[in-house]
Structure 1
Amino acid sequence: MTTIDGKAIAVRHERIDDAAAGQRIDNYLLRIAKGVPKSHVYRILRSGEVRVNGRRVQQTYRLVEGDEVRIPPLRVAEPARARAAPAGQPLPVVYEDDALLVIDKPSGKAVHGGSGVSYGVIEQLRAQRPELRMLELAHRLDRETSGLLIVAKKRSALTALHDMLREGKVEKRYLTLVPGRWANPLQHVKAPLHKYLTAEGERRVRVSEEGKAAHSVMRLIRRWRDFSLLEVELKTGRTHQIRVHLAHLGFPLCGDDKYGDFALNKRLEGEGLKRMFLHAAQLSFKHPISGETLAFASPLPPDLKGFVDHLDAAEKAHTHD
């Protein structure tokens, strides 16, 4: 352990999850080591102080899900108070105990800083709850996706939650709106997903035999003349899984700016849908410490509920014509 300005800074060991897989090691370190000079990050890479699965790696090494990254003690620059996450409006907490908390994440808020976002949910939580020694994301939601998110308050809970997520023992159900008339009351979608980077360096996902197994269960909730509301249960947790599976079937998510129907999105924006229609509506899992079954539900937030009401009104007007 190293001491800097009287403060103990320990070696860190990070396990790479699906969200960070595919990223270059140098970019990953720059993202998680806020306040550390870029030159220092590249120096510890060159010197071999950073290890992946016990081995030295080049700065161009692309991380693989499950990699164990050893990060040496880092000298952090004087904190730039202007960059500190503002406490802001308290995040809605659905459940909390000594081991974890579940929040209802608003749309438009990234779960963590990086990729042009100075701070996210986890930084805001740490600013709001400075008395808590540890707060770590158990899983992630896309920035535009609203809904239920688990945050661990103990390392033992985090490790157990990661194991449960990897083994499919956390039931996650989402609500989404797609264009067209979805036919099947229940449909299993099993299509492997492959991550790649565009020429601009943006991460994308496509259905490909060379990808990882991915399984989604679609249930029809409601149907209008031109749209369908679906509940999607994730059996695996691949990046952009719901978005890519539905786009692959010809039912891209309304408002999806990566895989969606851009002309339709523009029209829907004029009708009141300002973002991707995806909401993490239900979570169910056994408590990582006590084993007690926990189940949570989050209703559609006002912006998405308002658009559903708009569809109801349009359908009613059409019926009376």
Structure 2
Amino acid sequence: MREIKINENDSGRRIDRFLKIYFEKAPLSFIYKNLRKKNIKLNDKKASPEDILKTGDVIKLYIADDTIDKFKKSVKVSKNSKRPDVLYEDENVILVKKPINMLTHNDSGAYKDNALDRMVDYLIANGEYNPRMEKSFRPAFVNRLDRNTSGILIGAKNLNTLQVLNKGIKNHEVEKHYITIVSGEVKDDFDVEINLKKTGNNVMVKSSDGKKSITEFKVLARRKGYTLIAVNLITGRTHQIRASLKEKGLSIIGDRKYGSAAENNKFRNMGLDSQYLHNYEVKFNIDELKNLKGKNFIFLPNEKMTSIAEEIFDVDLGEILNEKSIF
């Protein structure tokens, strides 16, 4: 028999969802079968899948040790000592600056440097997270940026904050603002509301059975056949900005998936090796996060992106993005 004592980062989860994480290598049938057969007990009583865990609860596993070890969640070991570039942090939240050409999460079998592991390693080094003491929780980001998109990642250091942030994003209490340059001179601000669906080649297209996508676009400057646009994500779909612009007949410079090859070659010669899309600002209006309520955080694009914008539009990009009235 093995005991698991529930801590604050496990509290509030349904027991079946906790066990899905704890036994990450086990099929779901294994978990529900052992709950049904009373091989898993909560506070010495029969456990039901929908039971909500509380701090101090004790789960007892009447399962062979070798079976537990075979299916148990593995402890993730630090792969490198590279630090994240931290924009802001407190005891609950950490904002990380993600550069171009870095993954948000490692999405392949072989290890690749990524923003999430850097953040977790940083919290381990600071003594704020101990993976060997946690049963199911791991610090996480609540937003995701494509490899070729730079910007601000919002991280949660504990389960309660993770839940609060996810709820805040769902309720539009967290705003995410981007800056982009598109080919063509756009005259007026516009919104795009479409349903998006992913195709087999990982391209998002308009589809009646896709997920609703809502995006606001504001024109900041236009010159020399290009437009500088600020973007407010109302929803958060894959490739939402790029696919929404494509629907309007517009494309981001440097975008190899949705853009123009001729335009991309032109700007590649100027040193732009990715799409010109940067998440420059996040705003918080969540009552539960008193340190952040009413605050905004700005991260300017890299030097190359800034110089391209300033050369095309003859503006001070930092001055424009620090204006509080864009959205």
Q: TM-score normalized by structure 2?
A: 0.69
Q: Distance in 1 between matches of 2:3 and 2:259?
A: 50
Match of 1:96 among 89, 95, 107: 89
Equivalent in the alignment of 1:258: 257
Corresponding position of 1:149: 153
**CA contact 1:287–1:294 (8 Å) conserved in 2:** no
Contact in 2 for aligned 1:252/1:260 (Cα 8 Å): yes
Change (3 A) 1:194 1:154: same
2:176 partner amino acid? K
What stretches of structure 1 move > 4 A for 4+ residues in a row?
1-4, 75-79
Identify the range of structure 1 (233-242 vs 116-125) with the bigger mean alpha-carbon deviation: 116-125
CA RMSD of aligned residues (A): 3.1
Larger radius of gyration: 2
Equivalence for 2:106: 113
Q: Is the 8 A contact 1:87 1:125 kept in 2?
A: no
Relative to structure 1, is the Cα distance of residues 163 and 208 closer, same or farther in structure 2, using a 3 angstrom cutoff? same
Tell me the equivalent position of 1:163: 167
Q: Secondary structure at the match of 2:219?
A: strand
Give 1:215 shift: 0.9
SS at match of 1:219: strand
Task: Choose 238-247 or 133-142, whichever is displaced more.
Answer: 133-142
Name the CA distance, whole Å, in 1 between partners of 2:288 and 2:199.
37
**1:77, CA displacement in angstroms?**
7.2
1:87 aligns with 2:81: yes
1:132 match: 128
SS in 2 for 1:247: helix
1:311 CA drift (Å): 2.5
Report the Cα offset of residue 2 of structure 1. Answer: 5.7
- Report sequence identity in percent: 25
> What is the aligned partner in structure 2 of residue 196 from structure 1?
199
Q: Report the CA distance between 1:312 and its aligned residue.
A: 4.9
Matches within 5 A, 1:1-321: 13=17, 41=25, 44-45=26-27, 48-49=29-30, 74-75=71-72, 84-88=78-82, 90-115=83-108, 118-130=112-124, 131-133=127-129, 134-184=138-188, 186-198=189-201, 203-287=202-286, 289-291=288-290, 292-312=293-313
Instruction: Please give the alpha-carbon distance, in whole angstroms, between the structure 1 residues aligned to 2:255 and 2:212.
Output: 23
Unaligned runs of 5+ in 1: 5-9, 15-28, 55-71, 314-321
Note the residue ranges of structure 2 that are not aligned, 5 or more in a row: 5-9, 36-67, 130-137, 315-327
1:192 CA drift (Å): 1.2
Does the aligned pair in 1 maintain the 2:224–2:312 contact within 8 Å? no
- Cα offsets for 1:131-182 (capped at 9, x unmatched): 2225211111111111111100111111011111122221111000111111
Counterpart CA distance in 2 for 1:284 and 1:77 is 35
Please report how far the alpha carbon of residue 247 of structure 1 lies from its aligned counterpart in structure 2 after TM superposition. Answer: 1.3
CA contact (8 A) 2:142 2:165 kept: yes
Provide, for residues 102-141 of structure 1, a one-character-per-residue CA deviation record: whole Å limited to 9, x for no partner: 1221111111111366241110112222122252111111
Q: What is the CA-CA distance between 1:75 and the residue it aligns to?
A: 4.3
Check whether the contact 1:172–1:282 (CA below 8 A) recurs between aligned residues. Answer: yes
Residue deviations 1:78-97 (CA, integer Å, cap 9, x gap): 97x7xx43122x32212111
Q: Secondary structure at the match of 1:265?
A: helix
Q: Measure, in 2, the Cα distance between the counterparts of 1:156 and 1:75.
A: 23
Letter matched to residue 193 of structure 2: K
CA separation of 1:260/1:49 partners in 2, compared to 1, >3 Å: closer, same or farther? farther
The alignment covers a number of residue pairs equal to 256
